Structure 1
Amino acid sequence: MSPVIARPAPEQDDDYAVTAEFYDVLQARQDSMRVERLYGGAVASARLGVLDVGAGTGRVTLMSLANSQVDVHAVEPSRAMRGPLMTRLASLPAELRARVTVHPEPLGEAGLRGVADVAVCHNVVACLSPASRRALWPAVAASLVPGGSLFLQLPPARVPGDDIVRVLPEQQVGRHHYGGRVTMSGAGDRIQTRFDYWVRAGAGVLRESTETFWMWPAWRAELVSDLAPYRFVPRTGVCDPDVLAMTLRGP
């Protein structure tokens, strides 16, 4: 019998090739605190599994392993972001690694069915066009069991009229200082988000990098309406202005 040879997955353009190097250094600590605040309690209540949609370098995944005793499914199509995620998971004790599965394809291609009772979409929805966003919901619904909960970080509600600039505090790594700046600009019905990064030593800049992303605004009510056809209803008792919490009704 001939051996079965797996075909290599087709390569995709990676939108995070630049950001992956700087994300953990400049933003991970603050994002870890935000993740714990937004989803920590919900993840702790999971009894079947946690689905992390758009796991990135692993902030929600690691929090889920720490706060729960269930299996965690981390979905991350970006090779650049998946590299730090896998490195981080490799450093964990074997008993924790045994509970996490990393899926390197989009959720709609992962074939997950009824694997979780808590799903988290952190820092994801804003980066999806309306069509891509709507295509995600049936895959999330299929991954959850009836009665399961979906928690998603809300995108901006509107396109900004003026540029919004946020400077990321510099961080020291050895003799080098890493810094960054985020600029959000309105562009029709979209938001252009530009990340400028730099590495300096003393007063001199060693190198600079830039990466630009598109974001799409959406109102809370718009997302509730988009999710309704897939049996999602607003979850009672959750009133955080940064998060939309939904429950999957039974068939």
Structure 2
Amino acid sequence: MTVVNPTPVDAPGRERQDAYAVSAEFYDVLQAERDEARVRALYRDDVRGARVGVLDVGAGTGRVTLMSLLESRAPVHAVEPARSMRTPLMTRLASLSPELTKRVTVHPQLLEEAGLYGVADVAVCHNTVACLHPESRRALWPAVAEALVPAGVLLVQLPPARLPRHRTTLVLPTRTVGRHEYGGRMVTSADVDRIRTRFDYWVREDGRVLRRHDETFWMWPLSRPEMIAELRKEGFIALPERPDPSVLALRLA
């Protein structure tokens, strides 16, 4: 899931404002199955080749983390500052065997605060970068470079390249859990220089709506050439374009 750079608090050890308090309940139910297949298709081959470690930046509920544990024998570092998303991640990890859980460490803060140095040769930013304010996004790259060993590979799911011209609505697949049917939609529109993305969720029983919730996220567009130029300043060199152009692959020079 995406990671928004939350408002900091003064007291050490306190939780930051949680940007996913609503969506955490619905994310796995409505989106995880499709996202799991996408994660395997986009990153599995690189993760299988990891020898030092895998870094999952913005781990969310753990799709990249779990795939990395199953597809590699390397240590995995899952970075997830949002408590509401980290809770299902921890629950998912707790159901695994000790042989797997001893290889994964969950870091409950921003990567810039985690103090990771040379822990991975593969880093994945899936469904994360688009929701970072440009200042926060640029602050992330030095921390990624520090966490990677020389010649390490960074895989970034790119933000939208431009603002949407029209307001669009994507209906999420419904899912039945017991007597309840879960569903929702994603509404996207331009707002000056950023993209407003609102998720509307509902729970029904026998056609009657029991609950409605909504949550809004902001995204900042950035083109592939702009992202490459931004990362070049931190020592990353773009690799040949992947079959799926939504992912940018780079190597730390």
Q: Map of 1:104-119 to 2, 5 A cutoff?
A: 104-119=108-123
Number of the residue aligned with 1:76: 80
1:194 corresponds to 2:198 = yes
* CA distances 1:17-66 after superposition (whole Å, capped 9, x unpaired): 00000000000000000000110111011011000000000000000001
Say which of 53, 56, 60 aligns to 1:52: 56
Q: Map of 1:1-251 to 2, 5 A cutoff?
A: 9-236=13-240, 238-249=242-253
| AA of the residue aligned to 1:18 | V
- Structure 2 gaps of 5+ residues are 1-10
SS in 2 for 1:46: coil
Number of the residue aligned with 2:3: none
TM-score between the two structures when normalised by the length of structure 1:
0.95
* CA distances 1:169-228 after superposition (whole Å, capped 9, x unpaired): 110000000001000110011000000000000110000000000000000010101111
Number of the residue aligned with 1:4: none
SS in 2 for 1:238: coil
* CA distances 1:93-118 after superposition (whole Å, capped 9, x unpaired): 01000000000000000000000000
SS in 2 for 1:47: coil
- Structure 1 gaps of 5+ residues are 1-6
TM-score between the two structures when normalised by the length of structure 2:
0.94
SS in 2 for 1:161: coil
Task: Please list every run of at least 4 consecutive aligned residues from structure 1 whose deviation after the TM superposition is greater than 6 angstroms.
Answer: none
| AA of the residue aligned to 1:135 | A
Identity of aligned pairs, percent?
A: 63
SS in 1 for 2:121: strand
Give the total of aligned pairs: 243
Number of the residue aligned with 2:4: none
Choose 1 or 2 for highest CA Rg. 1
